[in-house]
Structures are given as C-alpha cells and as structure tokens.
Amino acid sequence: MDSSRRAVESYWRSRMIDGATSDEDKVTPVYKLEEICELLRSSHVSIVKEVSEFILKRLDHKSPIVKQKALRLIKYAVGKSGVEFRREMQRNSVAVRQLIHYKGQLDPLKGDAPNKAVRETAREAISAIFAEDNNTSKPYPADDFNKRIEGFGNTNFEMPPNEKKSFLSDVVGIGSASIKQGISSFTQGPSLR
C-alpha cells in the first residue's frame, strides 16, 4: 500500500515537471514554477533528488523548446528552492554546461533562434547555479542597524542646513504660486463678452 502511494506521488511529480517543460511554444506560467519550488523547499532530500533527475531528463529531449523550458526552470528554482536543489544541480552541472554549445536542427520558420535561446538560457542557468547566495554571504553594515528611521515620529531628525524652511512658508509659497497662476490664466484667457 505504501509503495503504491509513493509510486503515485512520483508519477504526479514527474507529470508536474512535464507540464512545466512541455513542447508548446508558450512561456511556462510562474504559478507552475512556484509549485515546483514549494515542492522542492518542503520535501525530503530524496524527493529533491528525484525531481532534479526528472528535470535533467528533460534536458535530453530532442526539442529545443523543452530544453529551454527545463533550463529556465532550473534557473528559477535554484534561487527559490533551497540549498539541497542547488547542490543537486551543482553536482549535475555537466548536463547544463553541455548545452552552452548546443547546435540542434534548424527550425523551418525560426531558423537557429530556438537553439540560440537554449545556449543563452544555459549560460544564465550555470551562472545562477554557481552564484553565491546573497542573503548569507554579505554581512550587513553596522551603521544601517544603528540608524533610526528619519521622518514622522523621529525626534532626532534634523533637516539639512541648506534646506531649513518652515512648514508654513512652504505652504504659503505653494498657495501663492497657485493663486498667481490662476490669476494669470484668468487674465490671459479669452473674454466672455
């Protein structure tokens, strides 16, 4: 009973990957990519490995559209799916690196454009796979933590010395400018006579 449930779940996951990397010449909706990312974030390491194998199998497909969608999925999911998926993609980066020099059949209508898109997306995916995680690698500067929010409610806020104006003079200036503009447009307008 338990093995059949696992087989059904595995089939469901493979169908999810197949749906996101279909052979249609349409962009994969972001909600499908987010579903896969959520699955990868919340799943056990063995499931992450299984899903990454499904994605890597899609890179072997003959269609450049499927290859590009799989590469786009890798690029998207590496940043949002956690460390395990990134490690799995780094281990299997050879399959992605091979597509940097991909030369497929020329399309009768589009020519080499789909193959070029595969090559470009493969470069982007490789750089995403091996990019450093921005959240953990850069420590925050100490002065940003000690700085208070300037504006409403902050009693320590000081205006820059060259811009010290009173609020009332600001409002009067705005009001007088709009009154002057109204009067000038009234006097310049055509007469009603």
Could you please report the per-residue DSSP string of 147-165? PPPPSTT-TT----GGG--
Instruction: Report d(CA 123, CA 127) in Å as an integer.
Output: 6
The partner residues of 168 in beta bridges, in order of sequence, read none
Ranges under pLDDT 70 in the chain: 1, 133-180, 182-187, 189-193
The model's pTM: 0.66
Nearest in space to 83 (alpha carbons), one of 132, 126, 36, 125:
132
DSSP, res 101: G
Spell out the residues 6+ positions from residue 62 whose beta carbon is closer than 8 angstroms to its own. 104
User: Which pLDDT score, from 0 to 100, does residue 59 have?
Assistant: 93
Classify domain 1-130 by CATH number: 1.25.40.90
What is the per-residue pLDDT for 137? Answer: 42
185: Cβ contacts below 8 Å, ≥ 6 apart: none
What pLDDT shows up at residue 168? 57
Q: Where are the domains of the chain?
A: 1-130
Q: Which secondary structure element, helix H or strand E, spans residue 186, and what is its range? A: helix 167-188
∠153-156-157 over CA atoms, to 5°? 75
3-state secondary structure at position 29: coil
The two structure tokens encoding residue 114: 């789909």
Are 94 and 60 contacting, i.e. CB atoms less than 8 angstroms apart? no
Residue 190, pLDDT score: 64
What integer pLDDT is reported at residue 109 of this predicted model? 84
Contact 102, 120 (CB under 8 A): no
